[in-house]
């Protein structure tokens, strides 16, 4: 006889191809009512499954926008596109080099054991990525989680804007050209070093590992740091 845990695992397994399909499109999952019809499960069981996936960093939910396999887009995307049109990749990287090492430092100082365990899962996804598309998805979630762990809502807001700039300023197009397998492997190794420093509570080491990662990214996409 199936236990409640077994039934929940079955719902999560049934959601896997839906998550994969969303990742290939705009990242948005169908509405909950549509998902319950597709899977033949109750709304309560679906929400329990989504709750677990959210804790694992596999989905993100934002009130009024829905559920996503990547951090949801900012509601002011029109303003982001306008700003992106005035921004060079060099300027974007300059801001990232100022902000993201500090986020890693704060995460190292604040992260709790269960949060570190979750971050390890997200880091491993980037190491296991078999292609540039899968890496980009894992990379976005990994860095977003570090920004969340920093525990500063203003920093998270700034990082969220940076994330939108990456999508609007030609970043993905440049990465698509340069993220060959050996580069993806090197980036995954750098994520490992960032994670190791955060897990060890090494504040200085986490900031340095993140800065070295930023410099490598800049070099890989041919942007002067």
CA–CA dist 15, 20 (Å, integer): 9
Residue 216 maps to a domain: yes
178 has pLDDT over 80: no
CA–CA dist 141, 9 (Å, integer): 22
**Residue 89 contacts residue 223 (beta carbons within 8 Å):** yes
Backbone phi, psi, residue 65, to 5°:
-115, -30
Q: Are residues 57 and 103 in the same domain?
A: no
- Show which of 16, 37, 68 is a domain's final residue: 68
Domain CATH number, residue 153: 1.20.120.530
Mean of all residue pLDDT scores within the chain: 87
pLDDT in tens, 135-153: 888 998 999 999 999 999 9
225 has pLDDT over 70: no
154 has pLDDT over 90: yes
- For the ranges 16-20, 24-28, 82-86, 124-128, the lowest mean pLDDT is seen at 82-86
Q: Are residues 61 and 108 in the same domain?
A: no
pLDDT in tens, 42-64: 999 999 999 998 888 888 888 77
Q: Are residues 91 and 31 in the same domain?
A: no
34 has pLDDT over 70: yes
Q: Domain range holding 214?
A: 77-220
Residue with more model confidence, 221 or 9: 9
Q: How far is CA 31 from CA 36, 68, 149, in A?
A: 9, 10, 28
Q: Are residues 63 and 158 in the same domain?
A: no
**Residue 158 contacts residue 99 (beta carbons within 8 Å):** yes
pLDDT at 100: 97
Cα dihedral 77, 81, 86, 88, rounded to 10, equals 100
Residue 160 maps to a domain: yes
- Show which of 12, 39, 68 is a domain's final residue: 68
Length of the chain: 225
Residue 225 maps to a domain: no
Q: Are residues 208 and 98 in the same domain?
A: yes
pLDDT in tens, 76-87: 666 666 676 777
**Regarding beta strands 60-62 and 66-68, do their DSSP bridges make them parallel or antiparallel, or are they unpaired?**
antiparallel
Q: Beta partners for 68?
A: 28, 60
Domains: count for the chain: 2
Q: Beta partners for 66?
A: 62
């Amino acid at each position: 006889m199936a236990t409640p845990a077994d039934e929940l695992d079955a719902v999560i397994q049934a959601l896997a191809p839906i998550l994969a399909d969303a990742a290939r499109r705009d990242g948005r999952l169908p509405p909950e009512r549509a998902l319950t019809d597709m899977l033949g499960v109750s709304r309560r069981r679906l929400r329990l499954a989504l709750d677990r996936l959210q804790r694992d960093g596999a989905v993100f939910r934002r009130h009024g926008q829905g559920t996503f396999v990547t951090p949801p887009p900012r509601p002011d995307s029109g303003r982001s596109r306008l700003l992106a049109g005035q921004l060079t990749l060099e300027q974007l990287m300059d801001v990232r080099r100022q902000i993201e090492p500090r986020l890693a430092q704060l995460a190292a100082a604040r992260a709790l054991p269960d949060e570190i365990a979750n971050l390890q899962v997200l880091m491993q996804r980037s190491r296991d990525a078999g292609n540039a598309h899968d890496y980009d998805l894992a990379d976005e979630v990994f860095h977003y989680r570090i920004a969340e762990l920093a525990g500063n809502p203003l920093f998270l807001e700034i990082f969220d804007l940076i994330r939108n700039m990456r999508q609007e300023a030609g970043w993905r197009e440049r990465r698509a050209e340069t993220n060959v397998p050996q580069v993806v492997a090197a980036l995954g190794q750098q994520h490992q070093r960032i994670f190791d420093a955060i897990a060890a509570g090494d504040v200085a080491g986490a900031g340095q590992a993140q800065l070295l990662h930023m410099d490598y990214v800049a070099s890989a996409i041919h942007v002067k740091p």
